[in-house]
Amino acid sequence: MSTTTGNEAATSPQTRPDAVCGAVERVRAGLVSGRGWQGIDVASLPRRDLLSTHRDLARMRREIDAMLAYSSAEIARRSTPDDGQDGLAKREGFGTPEQLVASISGGTTGDAHKLIEVGDAMARGEKEPQVGTATAGAGTDESPDRAAFRPAPRFAAVRDGVRAGKLSIDAANMITRMLTRIWDRHEVLRLGLEDVARVERLLVQRAHGLSANRFGRIVRQLEAQMDSGRHALTEELQRQERSVTMYEDQSGMFVLRAVLDAENAAPVRAAIDALVGNALHNRRDKDQVVEDDRTVPQIRADALAALARHCLGCKSEDLPLASTTVVVRLTLADLQEGAGVADIDGGSQPVCIATARRMAANGAIIPVVLGGQGEVLDLGRGRRSFTGAQRIALVERDGGCAFCGAPPGYTEAHHIKWWARDRGPTDLENGVLLCSTCHHRIHRDNWDIRVQDNQVWFTPPSAVDRQRVPRLGGRARFHAPKLPAPLLRAA
């Protein structure tokens, strides 16, 4: 096995062992046999080749998933009973097309359902004229012919993204499901096909480079913006479902399970995140008498107990909660009109304006109204540490760790141009929120950071990217954008 050096990125293909050259072509050639990696020592692949190969393989997988979506949708179509005859799935001995597809792929019926839904959406979009929903015209005076051609979203951007191998089935399924729910209420929301298509294109663009979990957060936030009326109802239903169960199991361990709505979860999460972040920060302190070897779940358990003891009358003042705040973010227009939704730091679930007003009545929760007059936050070199007000403004811009998207409670405000070495000022243009891990990684690997048009950009070192293409970070990457007013006309 060859030894990888720090200069592996500069190694030319001619000097590499045959085992690491043309890996993707060899994998593609052996794809059907399932022996694509045979003869290739994966452990000897240089880092750049390993990542490049993995990206190509992931794109190949998405391309194959696109074809599977089409065939899965066709299997589902043929599984519909015809003239009293059993459909394809039942003739093959399965109760549903999802079961048939899953039995062939070896996956779950849930994955099969996603393939069928995405494939059906793509196939429908290719037909002219566009067919409406199956219930079109039901209970109305519309003629069957008129109802059959009622407009519906075509999902052209989703179809193109999936076909090109740029959009995963999971992301495509999230987009089509969310926009279908929105379109079901398009008359109430006064939305047109072009409005839905604009959001579709935005979502397809934002899905690039994000995991399904990260992308799902953006989808939920945009849906709440577009249909704040239904979101308020959903929020109230979630509030009714809130609960905490406590019991002692047979081993003597105390089991606590909490299911919290966004309003109640916000202060709980903020306090625990602050204590966890403080513990992780102290772990770097080499002067600690005893090394902290707790796992993050263990730190959370200890944090919960510390909060309870504090509330029961503990006189200790060393809990790092003084700088902990919960910020509820809303626009001035939404506040005045009593409509729309607000965001809560650290959570992906928006809240309606009524909830935001109620939360703002709590002294420990800070409402940030966008569009109004704010205090002057740029203090130059008048002080080294960022103020609490500046940190709130940085959270508003970065949303948490600007590099990885970690919650605000895990972050600290850092100078982009160092205070001592570069004489960097303590102002917003020179500040960035980073978690401990990302802060060390950026300094260790020499990433460059700049703030432009209120957005944070990270430029990788040449060892990571030879072209050093800047990468967007902060709220602009990890959070949903604010939609324009025409798309926010809730009932």
Cα separations in angstroms, 250 against 244, 256, 298: 20, 14, 21
Mind listing the pLDDT tens digit for each residue in 295-350? 889 989 888 888 877 776 555 555 565 555 667 777 767 776 777 788 776 666 78
Say whether 488 sits in a helix, a strand or coil. coil
Mind listing the pLDDT tens digit for each residue in 393-408? 898 889 889 998 888 8
- The closest alpha carbon to 408, from 281, 306, 269, belongs to 269
Q: pTM score, two decimals?
A: 0.66
Say whether 471 sits in a helix, a strand or coil. strand
Cα separations in angstroms, 119 against 76, 100, 172, 475, 478: 10, 16, 10, 32, 28
Per-residue pLDDT for the chain (491 aa), expressed as one digit of tens each?
A: 333 333 333 334 444 444 444 555 655 565 555 566 667 777 888 888 888 888 888 888 898 899 999 999 999 999 988 766 788 999 899 999 999 999 999 999 999 999 999 999 888 766 654 444 443 333 344 444 444 456 778 899 999 999 989 999 999 999 999 999 999 988 888 888 999 999 999 999 999 989 999 999 999 989 988 888 888 888 888 889 999 998 888 887 889 999 999 888 888 888 888 888 888 877 766 555 567 778 889 989 888 888 877 776 555 555 565 555 667 777 767 776 777 788 776 666 788 877 777 666 554 566 666 654 433 234 344 456 787 778 888 988 898 899 988 888 778 888 888 765 677 787 888 889 988 778 878 877 889 999 988 899 999 998 888 899 999 999 889 888 888 766 655 43
Phi, psi for 472 (deg, rounded to 5): -70, 140
